[in-house]
Amino acid sequence: MGSGWSCGCVYPMGFYTKWLDGGIDNPHAVPHGDRQGDAADRDAVPDASGSAGEINHESHVRIDRRGRKYKQAAIGYLVYGVIYLAGAIYLGRIGRGPGGTVWWYLIGAAMAFGFPWLIWKRFTWVTRILAVLVLVRVIGLVRIGVRSGTEPVPLPWGGEIATSNGAILFMLVAVTTCILLARAGWQRSPAAT
């Protein structure tokens, strides 16, 4: 224990005790006291009457799963946003994308990096609205993908890809993002189960 590490974890002791105290995403904060006590002491949480009771480990797992879904959705949307922003900038530079100004791309960057933060913070209504909007985008990409006679688009690293094939690739990214957003936005709350 003298080395500042605890329980075989790779976290410094300060992080570990802060997590135990409830300062870092710990829904079951442990009362202040001796951190070197036995496991039963560390797992005790005061209930409404003030006496220490046992942690409901099932509830703890459910809360962690909810948080994990939001984090996965946030990372998924960040990847989706960066891919879309990079694609829009590239297509705009070669004259094949929307004729947006610099402001258009700055707004896109704000959305690509701002929405993941809101998703990460578990704003359910934002997550649900984005899931629906990404689904609408998937439908638009399917329409582009099934269109026949599309012209090829030069790739940044050389070669070409048909517009329909590019739309299908973007659609796969959008479908994955939509699924992650829907999983997070419409999951059951722990109180409902």
Q: What is the pLDDT of residue 191?
A: 61
Counting every residue written for the chain, the total comes to 193
**Vertex 30 angle, CA 27 and 31, to 5°:** 130
Contact 77, 181 (CB under 8 A): yes
Torsion-angle region of residue 169: left (phi > 0), alpha (psi -120 to 50) or beta?
A: alpha
DSSP structure class, residue 190 = G
Whole-number pLDDT of residue 153:
86
52 - beta bridge partners?
46
Query: Tens digit of pLDDT per residue, the chain (193 long)?
Result: 444 443 434 444 444 444 444 455 555 544 444 444 444 444 444 444 444 444 455 555 545 678 899 999 999 999 999 998 988 888 888 887 766 678 888 888 999 999 999 999 999 999 999 999 999 999 999 998 888 667 888 888 888 988 888 889 999 999 999 999 999 999 876 665 4
Rounded distance between C-alpha atoms, residue 81 and residue 59, angstroms: 33
pLDDT for 39 equals 43
Q: What confidence score (pLDDT) does residue 58 get? A: 54
Which pLDDT value is given to residue 89? 86
What pTM value is reported for the model?
A: 0.64
pLDDT at residue number 152: 86
Report how far residue 2's alpha carbon sits from residue 22's, in angstroms, rounded to the nearest whole number. 23
- DSSP, res 180: H
Rg for the chain (alpha carbons), in Å? 23
